[in-house]
Amino acid sequence: MVVPANTTAMVNMWAITHDPEVWEDPLVFKPERFLKTEGGIDVDVRGLDLRLAPFGAGRRVCPGKNLGLVTVSLWVAKLVHHFKWIQDTVNPIDLTEVLKLSCEMKNPLSVLAIPKTGVQLTRGQGLIKFNVM
């Protein structure tokens, strides 16, 4: 195979992460496939295991990878702990994807977050902040 000079080549990560020879039912949303306690597989998301590389790999790896790995689980835990989450019945969950610069949800997720007792909400600069009392 000859690749002409100045050719831009891109890795098709969607195809890699949806390979039916690697993933059982790759088009079905099954987060339990990553839980060892549920019989799932052990996948390294830091770019060492290319079955799933959400941050990329090699010299093109996401510069915010370490910050994301450390903080996102904390943010999610705080949100789950401090709010009761109710599904929007007018706009049901739709996991349809659309390919843009990256793979995005076609229709944004819409839920109602109700603060639990002892959580005070404040609004500032377009953001809603919450403080635990």
Residues 39, 8: Cα–Cα separation, whole Å: 39
Contact partners, residue 72, CB within 8 Å, separation at least 6: none
Question: Residue 98 corresponds to which amino acid?
Answer: V
Which residues lie across from 129 on neighbouring strands? 122
51-87: burial string, b at 16+ Cβ within 10 Å, e else: ebbebebeeeeeeebeeeeeeeeeeeeeeeebbeeee
Task: Report the C-alpha gap between 14 and 19 in whole angstroms.
Answer: 9
62 is in an annotated binding site: yes
Binding-site residue ranges for heme: 62
Binding-site residue ranges: 62
